[in-house]
Amino acid sequence: MNRSPDLNPIPPPSLRLQPLPHLTDTNPKLTPFPNPIDRNQFYRPPTGFYVSPSDIVLRHVTHDLSGAFSSPSPDPAYHRAGPRKNVYFESAQIRAAIVSCGGLCPGMNTVIRELVVGLWELYGVRQIHGIRAGYRGFYSMDPIPLNPKLVHNWHKLGGTVLETSRGGFDLEKIVDAIQHHGFNQVYIIGGDGTMRGAVKIFEEIRRRELSIGVVGIPKTVDNDIGIIDRSFGFQTAVEMAQQAISAAHVEAESAVNGIGLVKLMGRSTGHITLHATLSSRDVDCCLIPEMDFYLEGEGGLFEFLGRKLKENGHAVLVVAEGAGQDLIPRTDKQKEERDESGNLVFLDVGSWLKSELKKWWERDHPNELFTVKYIDPTYMIRAVPANATDNLYCTLLAHSAIHGVMAGYTGFVCGPINGTYCYIPLTEVAEAKNPVNTDDHKWAWVRSITNQPDFTKAG
């Protein structure tokens, strides 16, 4: 490897700077150019505008000085995101491709819009193309030319104008198509499965020794991508989830022995359920994938809800879609069923809980009034436009991605760590998980608000 020392500064022994792939790793003859932002007729970069490769972001900012708990040593650090003084692409030679994959998420159109506008206005790029229908669109559909006028109002729309899909990942066909179309910058928007695919694309491009920048922009409404502070669309999802919880509360409060049951998104993590519970204060019990629960017996869900109904006359139960999957009976066929991304198809925990609640009440409280109102706002939440906070976040993500690729970095993800945007190797993000830590303060706050049981059986 014949890299400039400026691209790979040596950190002090207490830090471990995560190496970031660069186009010069496979093509050391590449030469940098002055950043075209210097020539922008409407903007003059002030002193300190450009980020140095020696600017880093620490993964951990809290440490225990008592020695009772070990701190990571050396502490992981990442390159800070932002524009560099020199770039490795000439604007006139850039052909950029933008693709969105996986399920819908508030903010997808904003990211696409800001990528187009940022490339066009900041760096003078004129050949920008959208890839339709996810990864399969690289080899099965013609790219769509994009420009600022076309995408002007996209941030006001839910979904993704480029369309999306799951599956369709054929590595050879995708990279062949990237070469065929002459793309030298590829922007990939998607969740953890999409990021794993992006790693393979990046590695295949390196194997072929192509000077193509690949960047991942993490998208998952569940907020289950690790390392970064949060993924875009998450705050919009929590805001919309509160509306569903409020409706469930009204329904429950307006009935005799009424239960409002809300199922929220979260296959493997309960972040939306947790944050919506903390925000609404109407929730009596919060069930997430990271915490097992049981229905019958002392300390079980039925006992707790029975007590709440006796005290208040109503209760609100919020459950993440991935919670309780091991409790729901499955046929042999259902045990093997997978979706297009290869994930186990989950059964509807909300419908199952509604059924079990009715059975419990009819058995233990015959001839007493009882109502369960079940609300599943999943597709309403996924399809809305991003709120103001997420729109701003999407803009910063898009611009961070552009600056990183222009600086010659590749095989990375952009995102905030401890509030500062940085570049993280794709391989790290693709492997990292972000489960709810049920030992930390946030889960303790949930327990203090709901007073729900810990669902730990005695003995």
Per-residue pLDDT tens over the stretch 367-402 = 999 999 999 999 999 999 999 999 999 999 999 999
Cβ contact 198:214 at 8 Å: yes
221 is an annotated ligand-binding site residue: yes
382 is an annotated ligand-binding site residue: yes
Delineate the domains of the chain, giving CATH numbers in brackets: 17-62+73-231+386-431 (3.40.50.450), 234-382 (3.40.50.460)
Number of neighbours of residue 395 by Cβ within 10 angstroms = 20
Which is the catalytic residue, given 222, 224, 284, 390? Answer: 222
Q: Which helix or strand (DSSP H or E) is residue 383 part of?
A: helix 378-383
The pLDDT value given to residue 15: 85
Phi, psi of 77 (to 5 degrees): -135, 155
CA–CA distance, 217 with 138 (Å, rounded to integer): 18
194 is an annotated ligand-binding site residue: yes
Could you tell me the end-to-end alpha-carbon distance of the chain, in angstroms, rounded to an integer? 58
Phi, psi of 259 (to 5 degrees): -120, 125
159 is an annotated ligand-binding site residue: no
Residue type, 396: L
pTM (predicted TM-score): 0.92
Per-residue pLDDT tens over the stretch 177-194 = 999 999 999 999 999 899
Range picked from 73-77, 409-413, 426-430 for highest mean pLDDT = 409-413
The percent of residues in the chain predicted with pLDDT above 70, rounded, is: 95
266 is an annotated ligand-binding site residue: yes
Per-residue pLDDT tens over the stretch 307-333 = 999 999 999 999 999 999 999 998 888
Q: How far is CA 75 from CA 60, 88, 207, 269, in A?
A: 7, 30, 31, 26
Average model confidence (pLDDT) for the chain? 93
State yes or no: pLDDT of 271 exceeds 90: yes
Residue type, 121: E
Cis peptide before 28 (omega within 30 of 0): no
Spell out the residues 6+ positions from residue 239 whose beta carbon is closer than 8 angstroms to its own.
Answer: 387
Mean pLDDT score, 233-250: 97
222 is an annotated ligand-binding site residue: yes
204 is an annotated ligand-binding site residue: no
The pLDDT value given to residue 2: 47
The pLDDT value given to residue 1: 45
**Do the strands 314-320 and 258-264 form a parallel or antiparallel pair, or are they unpaired?**
parallel
Mean pLDDT score, 236-241: 96
56 is an annotated ligand-binding site residue: no
The pLDDT value given to residue 10: 66
Per-residue pLDDT tens over the stretch 29-54 = 999 999 999 988 888 889 889 999 88
224 given a catalytic annotation: no
